[in-house]
Chain A
Amino acid sequence: SQQGEEDPQALSIQEGENATMNCSYKTSINNLQWYRQNSGRGLVHLILIRSNEREKHSGRLRVTLDTSKKSSSLLITASRAADTASYFCATDAVTGGFKTIFGAGTRLFVKA
C-alpha cells in the first residue's frame, strides 16, 4: 500500500524560480525522506527528517515536516535545468519494521 502521496503530480517552472512539492502520509512515522530520480536511473537520497524535527536544510533544499497534519514539503530554491527529475517522498512507519514506503512522486521540469 502507498504511504506517501505527492502533490502536484507534475510541475513545470522556469529556471531561477522556486519549486515546492508536498507529501502527505497516513500513519505515524519514525522519519520521512526525499529522493530524486533522473529518468531511467536509480533513486538518490536527498534529505532525511526525523519525526521530532520540523525543518531541515541542505544546500538549496528545504524540507519541513508537520506530524500533526501528516505532511511534508520539499522546497528547491533558485531551480536549475539540472534539477529536472522526479522527486519522491518516503516514510519509515513506526509500526512498519524495516520497510520504507514511497509515494507516487512529483515530476519536475525546469525550463532553461
Chain B
Amino acid sequence: SQTIHQWPATLVQPVGSPLSLECTVEGTSNPNLYWYRQAAGRGLQLLFYSVGIGQISSEVPQNLSASRPQDRQFILSSKKLLLSDSGFYLCAWSLGRGRSPLHFGNGTRLTVT
C-alpha cells in the first residue's frame, strides 16, 4: 500500500532563516506531487505541483520554491522566511490526470517568529 511521509511535524523558525520541508511517497511510481498551505481556519492554497522529476509548476509567486530531485521526493524550500510564511503545509500525491483523489501527509505546522 502507498504511504506518504512528511516532516517535521512542527517547526519554529526566525524571520530570515532558511526552510526545508521534505515529503516522500512510498508504494507507487511517478506520482503527481503537491504542496499546499493552509492558513488557520481556512481552505488550502495550492503552492506547487509536479508531474515528474525536475518538473515544477508554481501557482503563487512568493518567497518559496520547490524541487523534485527523485521520483517520490518533493521538497519545499525558502532562502529567507517571512512572517507571512507561517501556516500549515501539506504535501499530497495523486496518480494520473483527474482520475484519482489526493492523498495527504499529516502536515507541518510552521511558525515564523
Contacts and interface: CB of A to CB of B under 8 A. Distances in A.
Interface in A22-45: 30-31, 33, 35, 40-45
Majority SS at the chain A contact face: strand
Contacts of A45: 101-103
B101 A33 contact: yes
B21 interface: no
Given A98-B51, A100-B34, A105 B98 contact: no
Interface of A: 2, 30-31, 33, 35, 40-45, 48, 88, 90, 92, 97-105, 107
Interface stretch (B63-71, B75-83, B105-113): B105-113
Contacts of A35: 101-102
A99 B102 contact: no
Contacts, number: 60
B44 A92 contact: no
Contacts of A107: 41
Interface of B: 6, 32, 34, 36, 41-44, 46, 49, 51, 57, 59, 88, 90, 92, 94, 97-98, 101-107, 109
Given A88-B44, A105-B43, A100 B105 contact: no
Nearest to A33: B101
A40 B59 contact: no
17 contacts: A33-B102, A40-B88, A40-B107, A42-B105, A42-B106, A42-B107, A43-B44, A43-B92, A43-B104, A44-B104, A45-B102, A88-B44, A98-B49, A98-B94, A99-B46, A101-B46, A102-B44
